[in-house]
Amino acid sequence: MVTVGSDVEYAAMVNDGTGPHIIRPRRAQALRFVIGGRVVYAKVVHHPGTRARPFLDQALRETAAARGYSFRQG
């Protein structure tokens, strides 16, 4: 038996990507980040989403191929 996966909670979001979403601070009054070398504070960020980086899908395809199986996504 072969298992391909990840123990980190954000793995699916990296693998599949995310749609646009709002980010709010959880334990502080503002978010802090750096843009162009400047420190920026914000109470809310309208994140545009991220593109998928299907590392789990690739690992599954490579593992299947190494064992002589074909992988068809459907």
Mean pLDDT computed over every residue of the chain:
91
pTM of the model: 0.67
Question: What's phi and psi for 31, nearest 5 deg?
Answer: -85, 145
- DSSP per-residue codes, 3-72: ----SSTTHHHHHH-B--EEE--SSSSSEEEEETTEEEEES-EEE--B----HHHHHHHHHHHHTT----
**Mean pLDDT, to the nearest integer, of 37-46?**
97
Q: Considering the chain, what percentage of its residues have pLDDT values greater than 70?
A: 93
